[in-house]
Amino acid sequence: MPPKPRTRSAVAEHRKRLRSRGLQRVEMQVHGEDAPLLRAVAAALADPDRATEARAVLRARFAPAPVRSLKELLAAAPLDGIDLDRPRDTGRIVDL
């Protein structure tokens, strides 16, 4: 007898439909007092009218600072008032 084809569960199908709409399931563990706050944040992000503002607020507060290259750091460095000239020292005189 050939094996039965495996059927997807309703939950798996539901999650597949959500992924096709660009949504992703996130599960986290937080203190009980923080759960209502995180639910409110999730609701704001899911609401098309409030999502843009919510993302902006969250990114401004919690997003990591953008990584800058060494070239960008040097270009942004304040060099006013710093003396970059050095005296030309050819070293000591050595009698060979």
pLDDT in tens, 73-91: 888 888 777 887 888 888 8
pLDDT at 5: 61
Q: Is 0.75 topped by the overall pTM?
A: no
Cβ count near 15 (within 10 Å): 15
pLDDT at 57: 96
pLDDT at 4: 62
51-62 and 35-46 helices cross at what angle (nearest 10)? 130
Find the length of the chain: 96
pLDDT digits (tens, 9 = 90+) for 3-55: 666 677 998 999 899 999 988 888 999 999 999 999 999 999 999 999 999 99
DSSP helix/strand/coil, 73: helix
Is there a contact between 15 and 8 (Cβ–Cβ < 8 Å)?
no
Cβ count near 44 (within 10 Å): 16
pLDDT at 41: 96
Radius of gyration over every alpha carbon of the chain, rounded to an integer in angstroms: 29
pLDDT at 25: 85
